[in-house]
Amino acid sequence: MDIIYCVEDDEDIRELISYAVKSAGFETECFENAAAFHKRLGEKVPSMVLLDIMLPDKDGIEILREIRADERTKNLPVIMLTAKGTESDKVKGFENGADDYVTKPFGVMELISRIKAVLRRSASPVPGVMERGGIVLDEKSRRVSVDGNDVAVTYKEFELLKFLMSHRGTVVPRETLLEKIWGYRFEGESRTLDVHIGSLRHKLGAKGKCIETVRNVGYKI
């Protein structure tokens, strides 16, 4: 059974989340601070973490960075829970590896739906193989296929598609893609990313529409 850790300093919210998560059929453990969470994480890695940003002993974004930097937890699904709801705060969370972002106050049904969606996205039936609506990407063989037909992509196009597919459902900022795929920080306007996105969409044919443009932010699958 999936076990979900909740890191939240507000006791009422912790109790609400615990009740909702258990009612949805998951196990849960809750922590009021980063210290207690880190101690338990060292003993057992959960299926997911619900992580508040405003904690008494450590910033949630810092905790997220540590999770992504650790080999044991680098692929651990994380949903940020926070009262901060501005676009810049959300972008910051996604830039540091958040899988989703839920702003307080939130509805219990919305939270459970997002938990289930992220768990589905993080589950891959074959290690190293990602699939989305007929698009299959095989990391080991570095092959991309659409509805069973191989598609010839360049090295950068493969890496770009892989990054977007591994973060499917979330908006990946342009500067993050440029840094992760091309290795440099975003400085002003660049057509490099747009050209590669356009090429990918063309090569994927009708399936290319799954790569969506989020104006003034970035792209998502």
pLDDT in tens, 58-98: 989 999 999 988 888 888 999 998 876 666 777 777 888 88
Q: For the residues 153-168, what does the mean pLDDT come to? A: 90
pLDDT at 92: 77
Q: Structure pTM? A: 0.58
- Average pLDDT rounded to a whole number, residues 123-145: 81
> Does position 18 have pLDDT exceeding 50, yes or no?
yes
**Domains located in the chain, CATH noted:** 3-122 (3.40.50.2300), 129-220 (1.10.10.10)
pLDDT the model gives residue 203 = 95
Q: What is the three-state SS of the chain?
A: CCEEEEECCCHHHHHHHHHHHHHCCCEEEEECCHHHHHHHHHHCCCCEEEEECCCCCCCHHHHHHHHHHCCCCCCCCEEEEECCCCHHHHHHHHHCCCCEEEECCCCHHHHHHHHHHHHHHHCCCCCCEEEECCEEEECCCCEEEECCEEECCCHHHHHHHHHHHHCCCCCEEHHHHHHHHHCCCCCCCCCHHHHHHHHHHHHCHHHHHHCEEECCCEEEC
Per-residue pLDDT band at 188 (split at 50, 70, 90) = very low
Tell me what the mean pLDDT of segment 202-215 comes to: 93
